[in-house]
Structure 1
Amino acid sequence: MSTGEPPPGPSEGPAQFAHVLPALAAYEEHLNPDSSARDRMRQRLLAEFPAAVREADRRPDPAARRRRFAVALAASVALLGAVSGMSLLLSQDAVPGDALYAVKRSAESAELGLTFRERPRGLKHLEFARDRVTELGTLRDRPGVADADFTRALGDFEADAAAGSRLLTELGADAEDQLFVALADWATSQLNRLRAAGPGLPAAARHRVLGTVELLERIRQRASELRQRAGCLTITSGAADDIGALPATERCVPAPAREAGALPSTGTNGRAVETSPTGTPTVRETPAPSAIPTTSAPPRTPVPVSPPKPSLPQVSRPVPVPSTPAPAGLLPGLLDLLKLPFGLLGQNR
């Protein structure tokens, strides 16, 4: 359908768009609020917003805060436990010079602190000392290891070996002489291991190993001497040094066999074994049984003799005897025996 007007030509289209674009830009500026309008809208929202909600936004709920803190604390503890457990697991093969070697030694110290009996603690010291020799072999096989790492491994070995020897010699002196044998065998085994590892160590470490070998020789000699006196009345002298109790030097007097729960035994020479508060047996001198007076008589003094007094007749009171009921079968027979004399008297009359 025609309107009577000719259609626009191609030159009129861009001219019309040129008028539309400024109109759209002006409309967009009219839709977007200016800064003053935004301030008015903000003030209106704040006036109509509940005051309680605004207060809650400024001050959070204490219970919610505690819950968030508890969750954060539990997560921190779990993370710390996981990291500690992983560190302990990875530190099993750590040697001096590694970053986790301090963690390994701290775990060993904690394990010793949780061991309350003396015998397991002494054996655990020897176990840790044996681990130091293993670490020494690992250091020997590594290239470029510092001399300070060898020195630390040997120093830790000597500390654990001396601590274990002190505990086991004191316990063996009390009643467990088999600990002397175990200590001597352990020292011999570690001597063989150190001597086998010595040639491959650096010069400074080989010089340091000589002191460790000397300490092991002393421990083995001390255990052997105490084992030889295990059957004596006195095993130790009551003194001690850095590796444990010192053996007694007097002549060995065989200790008598003691029964379980018996009192302190006394030897033929009158010496009794007592246990001091530190656990070291001591000997107490007691006089021989023949030297102990049975009665203590005062010095005799002359007593004046008086004339004898007339003796009065002594009257003995019958001692009441508690009556016990006779058996039922014997009672008739006893009554017949009592009646027999009276019957004979009646016949004689």
Structure 2
Amino acid sequence: MGVPGRFSRERVEVERFDRALDPPPGQPDDDFADELAVVAALRELGPAGRPDPATRERIRAEIEGRLGEPVVRRRWRPRMADLAAAGIALVLGLVGLTLLLSKNAVPGETLYDVKRAGEATSLAFTFGAEAKAQKHLEFAADRVAELGRMTDASPSAYRTALDDFGTDVRAGVTQLTALATSGSDHGQLTGLKAWAHDQSNLLAAEESRVPAAAALDLSGARGLLTRIQERTTALVSRLDCYEITTGSSDELGLLPAKGACTQQQPSRIGATPSPDPSSPPPPSSETVPPTTSAPRQPDLAIPTAPTPTPPPSGGTPPPVYAPPIPTPTAPRLPTPPSPPPPVLSFPPLLPGLPPIVIG
């Protein structure tokens, strides 16, 4: 892409002047002799060659007098859009830095509330019921890990960690059990049971470090995990039943049904259900071939009137109906007689004999 002529010429002049300032040894450039003398003098003066404020004002006044109008002094003034963008960038930077510093915060510290607010924001941007449930369980596991990093914490800090642990556990278990029972997913319930078993072991390892004032809260958290294991076991045993849950729920979600387990009906199209031994056998599907008989001639006899039945004693005699009138038969046309056979006659073979007649 070419460069416009004016800019090209200016660039050539600038490059020539630059080469004149630092010419190769033995090749002086006489085109810029005067300019080079000025540059050399300014270099010798150094900082002392800068004009003082009075000199600058005198030079400015002389330039304005030659131009015939005052020179406008431009000052940079920030716009509202620039200020807003800078403020937003500053706030986002502070928030990101605060979240980064609060990553390792534990209950009882100032940044722990900021950490919980960041977890709530992360949960709000998580889509899908199963993904949200897994997020809750992840946050609950973080509370257990924080118990191991808490040193010289107050009993209220331990209670805060255990309360937050129970809140996230209940939310995650409620959503996962609802999904597993609606889709008969054994894997979700089995994974939830294993997770509860692992977290219970981790809480048991922290039992000696928890203050006595928070020991009851720790026991409640372990009891909650034990109930989760029992609940998942009961739900897994009824996933193949027609009735899995009772329809009611508690803090851990849907309650498993009780009683006999009736197997679900086959859902495949065209599947044959298993026969019940107590039901009678189905009728035989063999067909008996119909008996071939001669066509029955219509009965042209006129039916006689039925004999009336005598009425019972003391009752109303039944009504008597006239016999049905037979439909008259249409008369047949007379059959024409068959024509007589043809008669053939031949002349006599000899004179005086009679003719020969056949027929």
Q: TM-score range by the shorter chain?
A: 0.5 to 0.7
The 5 Å alignment of 1:30-45 reads: none
Q: Structure 2 CA distance, aligned partners of 1:219 and 1:245?
A: 12
For structure 1, the residue ranges without an aligned partner over 5 or more in a row are 1-48, 54-59, 270-289, 291-301, 314-349
The 5 Å alignment of 1:1-349 reads: 68-139=79-150, 142=151, 144-175=152-183, 176-259=185-268, 307=324, 310=327
2:266, 2:273 within 8 Å by CA — same for their partners in 1? no
Q: Structure 2 CA distance, aligned partners of 1:305 and 1:218?
A: 86
- Could you say what the CA RMSD is over the residues aligned between the two structures, in angstroms? 3.4
For structure 2, the residue ranges without an aligned partner over 5 or more in a row are 1-68, 277-281, 283-318, 331-359
Q: Structure 1 CA distance, aligned partners of 2:169 and 2:113?
A: 19
Q: Structure 1 CA distance, aligned partners of 2:202 and 2:137?
A: 14
1:132, 1:156 within 8 Å by CA — same for their partners in 2? yes
1:113 to partner: Cα distance: 1.6
The higher-RCO structure (CA 8 Å, 6+ apart) is 1
Q: Assess, with a 3 A threshold, how the Cα gap between structure 1 residues 99 and 195 changes in structure 2: closer, same or farther.
A: same
Q: Structure 2 CA distance, aligned partners of 1:199 and 1:240?
A: 34
SS in 2 for 1:307: coil
1:130, 1:190 within 8 Å by CA — same for their partners in 2? yes
1:307 to partner: Cα distance: 3.0
1:151, 1:208 within 8 Å by CA — same for their partners in 2? yes
2:137, 2:172 within 8 Å by CA — same for their partners in 1? yes
Q: State the one-letter code of the partner of 1:97.
A: G
Q: Structure 1 CA distance, aligned partners of 2:149 and 2:128?
A: 32
Q: Structure 2 CA distance, aligned partners of 1:305 and 1:195?
A: 102
Q: Structure 1 CA distance, aligned partners of 2:218 and 2:172?
A: 19
The structure having more radius of gyration, on CA atoms, is 2
1:247 to partner: Cα distance: 0.3
Residues 57-76 of structure 1, C-alpha deviations (whole Å, 9 max, x = no match) = xxx9xxx98x6111111000
Q: Structure 1 CA distance, aligned partners of 2:328 and 2:122?
A: 87
Q: Assess, with a 3 A threshold, how the Cα gap between structure 1 residues 76 and 218 changes in structure 2: closer, same or farther.
A: same
SS in 2 for 1:237: strand
- Runs of 4+ more than 2 Å apart: 256-259, 265-269, 304-313
Q: Assess, with a 3 A threshold, how the Cα gap between structure 1 residues 241 and 310 changes in structure 2: closer, same or farther.
A: same
SS in 2 for 1:250: coil
More helix by share: 1
Residues 5-40 of structure 1, C-alpha deviations (whole Å, 9 max, x = no match) = xxxxxxxxxxxxxxxxxxxxxxxxxxxxxxxxxxxx
Name the stretch that deviates more: 150-159 or 198-207: 198-207
1:89 to partner: Cα distance: 1.3
Q: Assess, with a 3 A threshold, how the Cα gap between structure 1 residues 308 and 213 changes in structure 2: closer, same or farther.
A: farther
Q: Structure 2 CA distance, aligned partners of 1:312 and 1:112?
A: 95
Normalising by the residue count of structure 1, what TM-score does the alignment of the two structures yield?
0.56
1:228 to partner: Cα distance: 0.8
Partner residue, 1:27:
none
Q: Assess, with a 3 A threshold, how the Cα gap between structure 1 residues 309 and 131 changes in structure 2: closer, same or farther.
A: farther
Residues 104-158 of structure 1, C-alpha deviations (whole Å, 9 max, x = no match) = 111111122222311111111111100000011111xx1x311111000000000
2:141, 2:199 within 8 Å by CA — same for their partners in 1? yes
Q: Structure 2 CA distance, aligned partners of 1:224 and 1:241?
A: 16
Q: State the one-letter code of the partner of 1:201.
A: V
Normalising by the residue count of structure 2, what TM-score does the alignment of the two structures yield?
0.54
Q: State the one-letter code of the partner of 2:155.
A: D
1:100 to partner: Cα distance: 1.4
Q: Assess, with a 3 A threshold, how the Cα gap between structure 1 residues 115 and 308 changes in structure 2: closer, same or farther.
A: farther
Q: Assess, with a 3 A threshold, how the Cα gap between structure 1 residues 187 and 68 changes in structure 2: closer, same or farther.
A: same
